[in-house]
Amino acid sequence: GDSVTQMEGPVTLSEEAFLTINCTYTATGYPSLFWYVQYPGEGLQLLLKATKADDKGSNKGFEATYRKETTSFHLEKGSVQVSDSAVYFCALSTSGSRLTFGEGTQLTVNP
Amino acid sequence: EADIYQTPRYLVIGTGKKITLECSQTMGHDKMYWYQQDPGMELHLIHYSYGVNSTEKGDLSSESTVSRIRTEHFPLTLESARPSHTSQYLCASSLSDSTDTQYFGPGTRLTVL
């Protein structure tokens, strides 16, 4: 079945540091790939997505590229801020719009 | 901005009570979902619906039930709450295509004493 594996957290960085959160997937067919973010006390919201190989999703300084050859969708940001502290979920969707989520990675950014 | 609402946001109840968690969306989405989120953050799909009068069980077995009588409304009911039901419950909705974003409500944090 479909699965998503994220790098283990928690991740703690200083402000303005470079962020990478690794995500790899296993899926039949050609999935769409997503990164969702959950701020404390809130539901999830879409951060970015890519629907086909080599697409790059980007939003709020975050980027991720759909790499079919390595089945990866790593999240990156060049300079994190305290306000980026949250839980980040990688997810995929194949048929039927059901999402398969990774375990989530807690990010804490210190001033 | 997504228009999906959940009530209550927080609920503390005693064992054996019947509860209904409400979820409504005003986006006209056909597909709706309920997730249970562990304290360790992991999300588990417990129910989903592809339209009115359509409901399916998700990946994680749950003692809860759902109904979908109207497109915009997808309530979740627990007939007899137990401490093991203590969790965060997230509702979401999406359009029909697998490339579409799921929009999430703010969640209901349920504590059963």
| Residue A94 DSSP one-character state | -
Please answer whether residues B30 and B46 qualify as being in contact, where contact means their C-beta atoms are separated by less than 8 angstroms. Answer: no
- For the stretch B53-71, pLDDT in tens is 999 998 888 889 999 999 9
Please determine, for residue B2, whether its predicted confidence score (pLDDT) is greater than 80: no
In angstroms, what CA-CA distances link B40 with A28, A81, A107, B18, B37? 28, 24, 14, 26, 8
Q: Give residue A30's pLDDT.
A: 85
Min Cα separation B65/chain A (Å)? 19
Q: Which of A30, A44, A48, A93 to mutate to test the interface with B (most CBs of B within 10 A)?
A: A44
Per the model's pLDDT, the better-predicted residue between B1 and B8 turns out to be B8
Min Cα separation A37/chain B (Å)? 11
C-alpha A4/C-alpha A52 separation (Å) is: 17
Q: With beta carbons under 8 A apart, name residues in chain A contacting B21.
A: none
Min Cα separation A103/chain B (Å)? 5
Min Cα separation B14/chain A (Å)? 23
Please answer whether residues B88 and B34 qualify as being in contact, where contact means their C-beta atoms are separated by less than 8 angstroms. Answer: no
Per the model's pLDDT, the better-predicted residue between A90 and B97 turns out to be A90
C-alpha B45/C-alpha A20 separation (Å) is: 27
Confidence of residue A102 (pLDDT cuts 50, 70, 90): very high
- The order of strands in the sheet holding B19-25 is B4-7, B19-25, B76-78, B65-66
Residue of B40, B42, B107 lying closest to A43 (CB–CB):
B107
| DSSP β-ladder status, A23-26 and B10-13 | unpaired
SS3 A58: strand
> What integer best gives the mean pLDDT of chain A?
93
User: Which chain B residue is nearest to residue A94, measuring alpha carbons?
Assistant: B98
Q: Give residue B96's pLDDT.
A: 73
SS3 B45: strand
Give the Cβ contact number of residue A109 at 10 Å: 19
Task: Compute the CA torsion angle A14, A20, A102, A40 (nearest 10 deg).
Answer: 30
Please determine, for residue B29, whether its predicted confidence score (pLDDT) is greater than 70: yes
Please answer whether residues A76 and A9 qualify as being in contact, where contact means their C-beta atoms are separated by less than 8 angstroms. Answer: no
User: Which chain A residue is nearest to residue B97, measuring alpha carbons?
Assistant: A97
- For the stretch A29-74, pLDDT in tens is 889 999 999 998 888 999 999 999 999 999 999 999 999 999 999 9
Q: Give residue A110's pLDDT.
A: 97
Structure tokens, A81:
């801020």
Please determine, for residue B1, whether its predicted confidence score (pLDDT) is greater than 70: no
Q: Give residue A28's pLDDT.
A: 83
User: Which chain B residue is nearest to residue A37, measuring alpha carbons?
Assistant: B104
C-alpha A71/C-alpha A69 separation (Å) is: 6
